Amino acid sequence: MDPLARLRTVRGRLAPQMEATAQVIAERVITLVIDAVDLNAILARIDLNAVLRRVEIEEPIDRIKINEVLARIDMNALLAQVDLNAVLERVDLEEPIDRVDLNGLLDRVDVNQIVQQVDVNEVIARRSAGRAHRPRRCYRQILQRDRKRHVRRGPQPDRRDR
């Protein structure tokens, strides 16, 4: 009989117990270390700009299917969260208006086609129907009304004083 055979059988029985104990000890040590780590201190030591410079962002962006993302957006819910008055206050219309070539735009308008599409009799009937219940104003009343509007609104940019 081999004198070491008996030791081998004992070691075979002890090995799984020792491995299980080592596993439990390792898990406990890891838990203690993680609990002791102050993540805020670690994050304070990280230079986020350096990390972001190392990130290759183009590949994930190329994998995103933007049309599928946009299809999942509920535009009504999104617009309900937007304050359109605040957005419109930030819009500067002067620059786009200045860039519009009005002469070029008016050259492209076919006045004859517009006149053919307009039913002049209907326009006159609508205009007359709207004024039927109001008395006509004389030119003095009209000028006075325009002065009141001008004072109320104040001088407008790019408009001549009346």
Spatial contact of 161 and 155, defined as CB atoms under 8 Å apart:
yes
Residue 61 carries which side chain, given as an amino acid letter?
Answer: I
Average pLDDT over the chain, rounded to an integer: 79
Spatial contact of 151 and 161, defined as CB atoms under 8 Å apart:
no
pLDDT of residue 28: 92
- Measured CA to CA, the distance from residue 112 to residue 121 in angstroms comes to 17
Confidence of residue 11 (pLDDT cuts 50, 70, 90): low
Residue 126 carries which side chain, given as an amino acid letter?
Answer: R
Is residue 129's pLDDT more than 80? no
Is residue 158's pLDDT more than 90? no
Is residue 162's pLDDT more than 50? no
pLDDT of residue 139: 67
- Measured CA to CA, the distance from residue 153 to residue 147 in angstroms comes to 10
Is residue 38's pLDDT more than 60? yes
**Would you kindly state where each structural domain of the chain is located, as residue ranges?**
5-153
